[in-house]
Structure formats: C-alpha cells, structure tokens
Structure 1
Amino acid sequence: MKIRHVMKGIFTVIENVELTTTAPEEGFYWIDADVEDLEVLQPLFSLHDLAVEDCMTEEEQRPKIETYDNHYFIVVNSIRYDDEEIFLRALSMFLGRHYIITVTKQKINELRAIKPILWEQEVSEPDRFLYYLTDLVVDNYFTVGDRIEVKIENLEEDILMHTKRSHLNEIIGLRSEILWLKKVLGPQKEVINILNKKDLRLIDDQLQKYFSDIYENAVKISENFDTFRELVGNLREAYQAAIANRANEIMRVFTAITTIFIPLTLITGIYGMNFDHMPELHGQYSYYIVLGVMLALGAGMFYLFRKRDWI
C-alpha cells in the first residue's frame, strides 16, 4: 500500500496510514492499495461492507457505481492487449471528500500514466483525479481497438492470399473476444453516464460536465466494436468463400486430368483387346505410332485447357 498526499499535482509519500483519516488543509490523499489492505482501510474510512466484500471476493467485477453516505464505490475495467489476447482488469475506487482509494489485483498501466497528468494539470481534488483516471481507462480502449482493426485487416489479407484451416480458429477466437468486450462495454458506459448526469455531491458540478466527453468516447468505442463484430462476420464469409474456391480449383484440375486421360485410356483399351486380326497390330512401328498419337492428343488437350484458362 502506498499513501501519497497530492497537492497541485505534487506527490508527497506518507508513512503513517492514520494521517489519512483527517482531511489535509490542502490537497487530498491517494491510497494505492491491494485487496489485503482493505482490512486496515475499512475501519479507518468506514468503507461499506458490501463494497469491500466485492473487492475481496469477486474475480471479475462488473462495472458499477454505488453511493454511500460518506463515499462512492466505483468499478471500471482497464483493458490490455498482450500476445494477441485481450485482458480486462478491474479497477476499484473509493472516492471520499478528501481521499481516493484505488484497489487492484493486478498491475494497471493507467495508474502509472496518471502521475504526469496530475502534475501537468496541478490536480488537488480527488474528483479530478477520478476524472483523469477514468479518461485514461476509456482512451486505452481506442488503442486496443486500433490494434484489433489492424489484426482484422492482416487476417483478411492472409485469408485472401493464403487460406489455411487455422484461420477459422483465429476468426472464432477473435469474434468471441469482441462479443465478450461488448458485454463489458455496456455497463461501463452506463457508469460513465451516471458520473455525467446523476447528482453526486462528492463530484464538483462544473467537473461533472466534463464526464460527458468521456461518455461520448465510450459510445464511440461501443460503436467501433459493433463494427469489428461485423468485420469478423465478413472474415468468416471470406474464409468460407476462399475454401470453396480452392475446392473448386482442385476439382477443376482433377476434372481436366481425368478428361485428358479418357481418350488415352480408350486407345489403350482398344489395342488391349484379344483379336487376331487388328489393323497395324503387327506393324514394325505401330507401338511408337500409337504412343505418339497418345502424347500428341494429351498435349493438345492440355494446351486447349490452358488457353481457355480451365486449368
């Protein structure tokens, strides 16, 4: 657990946790805590039992906001895209009049990225900290969305150029991840909408209006993932069409080969009959003549098929 006093974006580390129970003359306290630290923080800040229980027991929390007498409990999901896989990590926040507590089970990049923003904006209020942190979390979805779009484009090009059976597994996996994200984006969008519209006494009225920009971005992200879902559907159609075309190409080649060998088989079949009196049966050059005719016939048919682009 790290306790910092934040004043005009400048951080001062505090060693004694009990100092945070009293409001500072200026600025606010930012407590970056682990789940285990809530056992100490709950009695100090009178954190609600249900909110603490959610942090300690829920592996994957649904984005939400709950208002209590002296603090708000807010959950948003940070997104990461590592090794072609999408990960969501819950960021739980307790917002009070003079403090904000961030609780995570894994490392979240936005908590590191927020520091220079606080310094640049000279932040001295916990609600402004909440605003900038939420803005970072939502903006990161655009970054992940851009990477997903690039992956879809590369996959589409690869399917058209070199169709493989493994592409189907990639398409199904990508579609499942996008649908899963869509389910998360709905509640998260509603949380930001509440921060924008609901009368919340711990958030300044002027600042609350700025949450509308974050809400618009959340709506855009949701629309982008709707588009991604449609593009993945198109990928599956393209894959099926490419597989069908390749099957048709293979069948066309086999058909052409079979067609070429039909007259050759006819000739060998005729000369394989057991009759004593057949034309040119005992000729000195009959064998070579028949082979030449067969070779010329096969080459001629192959040339004709190639000229008409049948093979």
Structure 2
Amino acid sequence: MISTIEKNGITWVNVKSPLKEDIEHLKEKFSIHELISEELSKPTFHPKVDLYNNHLYLILHFSIFNESKGVNKNLEIDFVLGNNFIITVNYEAIKPLEDFAEKCRTDLEFQEKIFFRHSGFLLFNILRLLYQFSIKELDMIQKRIDGVEEEIFAGKEEKMLKILSLLRRDILEFGRAIVTHESVLSSLEKSGVIIFGGEFSPYLREVTSECFKIKNLFANNKDTIESLYDTNDSLLSAKINEVMKVLTIMAFVTFPLMLFSSVFGMNTENTPITGSRNDFWIIVGIMIAGATGMFYFFKRKKWL
C-alpha cells in the first residue's frame, strides 16, 4: 500500500508491505538505482547506509512491542532519500510511523514545520520520533523491572522466574535492533553532508546523540535484569536448599524409628524384649527416645 504526502516541493512516500509493482513504480518515478530496488523487494537482517549517485539508502531496525502476542519484535524500516523526496518502506505495521504520517496528513500547521527546506529535515524528524518511541519502549521495560523487583523480595521467586525470562528475551531483542545503530548513524552523518550540505550535520549529530542515550538506557536495563535474575535464582536456590535441609533432617530424625521397627519386626525366636511384659510400650519408648535424641542433636548443632 502506497500513501503520498506533498508539501513545499517535498514528497514523502510511505509504502507498507510493498508489492513488486509498487517497487517498479517507485523506481521509474524517482529514478531509483537498480540495487536499491532489489533491496526493497524483501526485508533484510542487516542495517546499513549506502550512497548511490544522489540517492541515500538507509536500513534500520526498531524493537516494537507486539500487544497481541505480548512480545517485542524487531521491525525494519527502509529509507530512500533524494534532495526533494523521501521514501519509507516497512514490511509490517509500525504504529509510531503510521501515527506520524496521519498527523502530517491532517495537521496542516504540523505539516508546514515538518516539510521544511529538503527531505533531510523530514528524515531527521522521523528518526527522532522513532528514537523517542524506543525510549518509551525502554520505560515500559523499566516499569516491568520495578514490578518484578518488588515481587522477588515478597517471596514470589518461582512466579518471577518465567517473567524474568521473558524480560531477558525482550531486552535482548531490543539490543539486537539498536546495537548497530551508532555505527550506521556515524556513516549517515558523512553521507548526509554530501547530499544535504554541512548545515545538516548538527541535526544528524542530534539523532546520533538520541541513539547513544538509548544505548545507555538499554545497557542499564539489561544489567538490572541480569542482576535480578541472579538474585531471584539465588533466593530460589536458598528456598529449595532449606526444603531439602528440612527433609534430610526429618529423614534422620525418623531413622531410629525405622531401625527399631525393622529390628523388632524380625521373626526370630530370641528377639530381646519381645514377648516380655509391656514389650510394646518398651519398644515404643525406645523408638521415641531415639527420635528425641536425634532431634536434640540437630538442635544443639543449630541445624534446626
């Protein structure tokens, strides 16, 4: 699906799930290089920035939370820029980009501010929007981390084990998307100056600064999750060890009972005590004394 917005001599073409004929149409209309059109036909796992004559080609991935599945998913956005046009291609719905495009269509005052001088300023605003959205995604993860931290120390270690595993998956998925952005944006600064001139360099540096901020927040969240995971694992292990300790002590405390019951249960002719007066109560007394002795021993050793 292709949607187009034009203002002040600048054209923004947003393409969602491009078909072959869509790419051919864009190739003919904007004289896109053959290599770019081939790249646009399918998503790629690798971000990059390339300069083809007067066209700049940029691929970035952003981690977007999928509400229906409850997981973060890395989605690709391709940018093709000329001096007076920008093409964005996404292979799945990216809500912040769709909301931004809708605002550009309906808010004429906002449109006037965004479509300014050349397409580079539009690219700057789109990238800034996406990085601000990424910060919100990290804030959501931070809120989940805070909730998990409270639950861990409330004695809910087993329940938190799965939630922490999901958090680790989401933060790793986020990291896979964002970790290469800094080097790509560094290349974009050099290529952007070639197309749009030196005056555009501060805007590209601001985008790089936003990316650097996100990487720091990501690293902080990742370290926190790993620390909480280790803490939860230690608390869970301590709880399991405590249960095993109690079971072991119970086994040793009841050992005399099993021993004496086995000895006096043997079918022999000369078994001591058996057959004498009050033999049952004597045997029970011996068993209770043995169990009490074991209990006292563990208590004295402070194992109980």
TM-score, length basis structure 1: 0.75
Identity rate, percent: 22
1:56-135 superposed matches below 5 A:
56-57=41-42, 59-82=43-66, 83-115=69-101, 116=103, 119-120=109-110, 122-125=113-116, 126-135=119-128
| Aligned residue identity for 1:147 | M
Q: 1:4 corresponds to which residue?
A: 5
Following the alignment from structure 1 to structure 2, what is the Cα–Cα distance between the partners of residues 183 and 280? 76
- Give the match's secondary structure for 2:41: helix
What residue number does 1:11 align with? none
Residue 71 of structure 2 aligns to which amino acid in structure 1?
E
Structure 2 match to 1:263: 256
Query: Are the equivalent residues in 2 in contact too, given 1:91–1:103 (CA < 8 A)?
Result: yes
Matching residue within 189, 210, 213 for 2:182: 189
Give RMSD over aligned pairs: 3.6
1:97 and 1:90 map into 2 onto residues whose CA distance is 23
Q: 2:280 aligns with which of 279, 287, 297?
A: 287
Deviates further, 218-227 or 233-242? 233-242
- Cα offset, 1:286, TM superposition: 3.8
1:222 aligns with 2:215: yes
- Shift of residue 155, structure 1, vs aligned partner: 4.8
Matching of residues 130-209 of structure 1 within 5 Å: 130-155=123-148, 161-164=155-158, 167=161, 171=165, 175=168, 178-196=171-189, 200-203=193-196, 205-209=198-202
Contact 1:114 1:132 in 2 (8 A): no
User: How far is 1:224 from its partner?
Assistant: 2.9
What letter matches 2:65 in structure 1? Answer: Y
Query: 1:216: Cα distance to partner?
Result: 1.6
Relative to 1, partners in 2 of residues 1:304 and 1:149: Cα closer, same or farther, differing over 3 Å?
Answer: farther
Q: 1:53 to 1:280 in 2, by over 3 A?
A: closer
Tell me the matched-pair count.
289
Give the deviation of 1:158 after TM superposition. 5.4
CA drift of 1:200 comes to 2.0
Unaligned runs of 5+ in 2: none
Structure 1 unmatched ranges of 5 or more = 7-25
**Higher mean C-alpha displacement, 66-75 vs 47-56:** 66-75
Cα 1:225–1:210 change in 2 (3 A) is same
- What amino acid does structure 1 have at the position aligned with 2:122? F
Change beyond 3 A, Cα 1:281–1:30: same
Instruction: Give the counterpart letter for 1:282 in structure 2.
Output: S
- Structure 2 CA distance for aligned equivalents of residues 217 and 151 of structure 1: 23
- What residue identity is the alignment partner of 1:268? S
CA contact (8 A) 1:31 1:101 kept: yes
Shift of 1:175: 4.3
Q: Is the 8 A contact 1:178 1:225 kept in 2?
A: yes
| Cα distance per residue 1:278-301 (max 9 Å; x no partner) | 458421x44235435644764686
CA gap 1:71/1:269 in 2 versus in 1, 3 angstroms: closer
Offset at 1:114? 2.2
1:232-251 correspondence runs (5 A): 232-238=225-231, 240-251=233-244
